[in-house]
Every structure is written in C-alpha cells, then in structure tokens.
Amino acid sequence: MRHLAHDFVYYSLVWFAHHNKLRTNVKISCPLCEAWPESVDHLFVCCAVASQVWVCISAWLRIPPFLGFTAIDVLESPWVLDGGKDKRKWIQAVILATFWSIWKARNEKVFRGKRQSVDQIVAYAKEWVEFWVKHRSAQVECG
C-alpha cells in the first residue's frame, strides 16, 4: 500500500511538473471545477469538488474534516498522525483511495468528456477501500 501510495503521488507530481512545463503560455483550468488553474494541490485538495469529496469522506470516517492546502497536509492531518498505527494505516488507505478516485474523475473528464458527481467520486473511493480490505483479509487467510 505504501509503495502504491508513494508511486502514485510521485508519478502524479512528475506528470504535473511535465505538463506544467509544456503549457507555460496556455491556461488550462481544473477539469473538475473549471474555475482555477490545474495543479496537484488544487485538484486533490483546494478544488470545490475535491473539498466536497473530503467532507463526505471525513464524515464517513467520523473524523473532523481534513484541513490543509496541499496533498501532504491531508496525508499528515493531526487526527491521521495522532491515531494508533492501525488507525493511521486505515485512514491513510482511505485518503489514497480518495486521491485515486479524484484522479480517475479528472481523467474521465479530460479523456472522455464525462463529468462525475461528488457522490460518484466518494462511492468509487469507498469501493476501492472495500476491495483493498477484502484483498488484504484474503491474504491473511491464505498465509
């Protein structure tokens, strides 16, 4: 999970850096809200769509809303770091599933012209977490 998380964040950042370099003279707005320029922190955290997704996710986890302006701020929110090891791993898995779901929604809009609702983005993140939990318990049973 940790490797997947780091790879995902790393490749996203590389992609954005490359993309930003290529479009210095072109203004590309965020595919989700179409109101602000696209950047990693905007897309995953500050975007109006992403903010609504995080409100739903924190309510689902029964924790206070995530605070911050960057993707790292979310991953390192005090209630994520303060919990026990298991709780922290669980919340971080949910955060990564949410990043992944937001990324998928962005690609759906960019490559297929399809807009996903906040509910769809949240539902996909939850599905991803459930899949991960099932896969993980299957591994434990086999081991």
CB of 2 to Zn ion, least distance (A): 28
Under rule CB under 5 A, how many of the chain's residues touch Zn ion?
A: 4
- Per-residue burial over 58-93, b if 16 or more Cβ lie within 10 Å, else e, is beebebeebeeeebeebbebebbeeeeeeeeebbbb
Closest to Zn ion by CB, 5 vs 33, is 33
Q: Which is nearer to Zn ion, 30 or 121 (CB)?
A: 30
Name the residue nearer to Zn ion (CB basis): 30 or 129. Answer: 30
Closer CB to Zn ion, residue 75 or residue 102? 102
> CB-wise, 47 or 91, nearer to Zn ion?
47
In the complex, the smallest distance separating the C-beta of residue 50 from Zn ion, rounded to whole angstroms, is 7
Q: How far is the CB of 106 from Zn ion (least distance, A)?
A: 9
Helix axes 118-142, 48-61, angle to 10 degrees: 50
Q: Among candidates 70, 86, 68, 69, which has minimal Cα distance to 78?
A: 68
Closest CA to 96 of 117, 64, 66: 66
* Distance of closest approach, residue 46 Cβ to Zn ion, in angstroms: 7
Among 40, 44, 45, 47, binds Zn ion (CB under 5 A): 47
Tokens of 49: 């769509």
Provide the token pair at 85: 């090891």
32 binds Zn ion (CB under 5 A): yes
Beta carbons of 129 and 97 less than 8 angstroms apart? yes
Interface with Zn ion (CB under 5 A)? 30, 32-33, 47
